[in-house]
Amino acid sequence: MNNKIFIALTLYLTALFASNTLGIKLMPFVFGTHLSTAIFVFPVVFLMTDVIGEVYGKDTAKLFVKAGFFSMVLFLIFNFISNIVPFSKSFYMTDAYNQIFSLSFRFTLASLVAFIIGEYQDVLSFFFIKNKLGGKWFWLRSNLSNLWGQLIDSSIFFAIAFTGVYSLKVMVLTMIPWWLFKVAAGAFYTPLSYLGIRLLRGKEKKIAE
């Protein structure tokens, strides 16, 4: 693995785990809607596979998805173990720990299912559109695949993560702006995607197919 792919994978996994842990917090948005704080980092996850796929090809993009999937599986195992072992009598944050990390376990499980399906949909749709357009207009291919992949991801995630935690109204009022805002954030980050492609490609001009 070269240094550029190593740095990209580090950024990818960091954004993924930040989404799964910090994203438990909801913040108010417009018109009575809500957004998860993961909105600031999760678009990086989907955009990174597009950037990697553009430079190194579909197989490397799928490798990133697999790395994210197995990393989250390991996190679920570690989380489960930490939740079942007994607390020390001197530990004074028992309720807070259980509340946060029990929810984090469910949060990560929901992310795991949504992630693997949504990310593969993003990669497949990205290369499907790329084949149709002949490799032109990265910004369009990236945002269209992001639109579809994020819809799949958000729908699955909210169904698993928040059923019984929040009311249906809150779930709907959170999911719709969450999906649209992630897509908008992805579009906003598109110039950074071009920068990433330029940095990863370096002096190489040929795009991997």
Mind listing the pLDDT tens digit for each residue in 103-137?
666 777 887 898 889 888 889 999 999 998 887 88
Model confidence over 148-193: pLDDT tens digits? 988 898 889 888 888 887 888 888 887 887 788 888 888 888 898 9
Q: Which of 80, 67, 89, 151 is nearest to 117 (CA)?
A: 151
Q: How far apart are CA 166 and CA 162, in angstroms?
A: 6
pTM comes to 0.78
% of the chain with per-residue pLDDT over 70: 94
Q: How far apart are CA 195 and CA 86, in angstroms?
A: 48
How many angstroms separate the Cα of 73 from the Cα of each of 70, 77, 80, 203? 5, 6, 11, 37
- Between 197 and 20, where is the model more confident? 197
How many angstroms separate the Cα of 1 from the Cα of each of 6, 8, 90? 7, 11, 45
How many angstroms separate the Cα of 94 from the Cα of each of 20, 100, 108, 165? 21, 10, 20, 20
Model confidence over 18-41: pLDDT tens digits? 887 777 777 887 777 777 787 788
pLDDT band (50, 70, 90) for residue 55: very high
Helix (H, G, I), strand (E, B) or coil at 27: strand
Residue-averaged pLDDT of the chain: 84
Please check the confidence at residue 205 and state whether its pLDDT lies above 60: no
pLDDT band (50, 70, 90) for residue 207: very low
